[in-house]
Amino acid sequence: MTDLTLHHADILDPGTDVHLTRATVLPRRPKQLHKHDFVEVFWVQNGTIRHHTADEMTKLDEGTLVVIPKGVTHALQGKGDHAMVVMLCLSPKVTTHLAKRHPDVAAILQGDAVKEFQRDPRQMATLNQTALRLERSARDTLAAEAFLLPLLSELREGPDPSIEMPDWLRKACTDIQDPALFRDGAAGFVALTGKAHPHVSRTMKACTGQTPVQYINNLRMEHAARALTGSNESLAEIADEIGLPNLSHFHKTFRARFKVTPAQYRADRQRHVVQPE
């Protein structure tokens, strides 16, 4: 089935550069994924959301903020009867100019990977206050940037350093460095903690700024990168070793991390070092 594409020209009112929507997310399973020709930002205002992408389904709890780059396919599904999100459609003009002027935030707005951030109650209160001001504004370029710049600056700084990682999570992060363990993915990581998945996910986001899936995939890709430059294993062997036997998924995840294919990475850092052309 062809993915549905949403266009900013059909959503933004004339003369505006941002559109804000508040909506209850129904619990029915999405019939198909969709993508946009714009950057979408949304946060879970209430309840729990099931977030479907081409590769997986993740649960987003209240306080999770998500950035969806243009062209990335996804869909939302509520869990229960009171799941609610606040969603922003951002003009490509605004996000393109911001990325050019502020390279540090380009990684948040661009690329082909979904970015998740956890907001604490204080941050959520500030976010909702600024969203209300945005909603009542002219929603032009100036209003959009006035909302986005403080938020992006805060997201760029990463997790709050005052939040101390609990011992059980620190031990799991140490143990999971073993390829024999991280090949089992996020489920294996959560099993090491002995805690419930939602609790692990919330604590992980607060302490590291990453979900368990993101953390494990970074470990997998770092291991794959070392194998590509330090061994003659085939791509299939490396992918299987890190727990991603689906080569298409392996290529996509590796490219999202290193911006090149595994084969190109190996050529650039292995053969071309020994026999420069």
The architecture (CATH level 2) of 167-274 comes to Orthogonal Bundle (1.10)
Confidence (pLDDT) at 107: 85
Q: Which CATH number fits domain 4-156: 3.80.10.10, 3.30.70.980, 2.60.120.810, 2.70.98.30?
A: 2.60.120.810
Please state, rounded to an integer, the average pLDDT across all residues of the chain.
89
Confidence (pLDDT) at 272: 55
- What is the average per-residue pLDDT within 231-244? 92
Tokens describing residue 242:
């890190």
> Any residues with CB less than 8 A from the CB of 247 and at least 6 apart, and which?
235, 236, 239
Lowest mean pLDDT among 3-7, 23-27, 246-250: 3-7
Lowest mean pLDDT among 43-52, 114-123, 128-137: 114-123
Instruction: Establish how many alpha carbons lie within 13 A of residue 90's alpha carbon, considering only the half-sphere containing its beta carbon.
Output: 25
For the chain, what are the domain ranges? 4-156, 167-274
Give 63: exposed, middle or buried? Use CB within 10 Å, 0-12, 13-18, 19+.
buried
With a pLDDT cut of 90, the percent of the chain lying above it is 57
- Give yes or no on whether 4-156 and 167-274 have one common fold: no
- Model confidence band, residue 54 (pLDDT cutoffs 50, 70, 90): confident
Give per-residue pLDDT as tens, 181-224.
988 999 999 999 999 988 898 888 888 878 898 899 989 999 99
Confidence (pLDDT) at 159: 61
Residue 275 has pLDDT above 50, yes or no: no
Confidence (pLDDT) at 56: 82
Looking up tokens 């604490």, which residue turns up? 120
Strand partners, 5: 35
Higher per-residue pLDDT: 157 or 15: 15
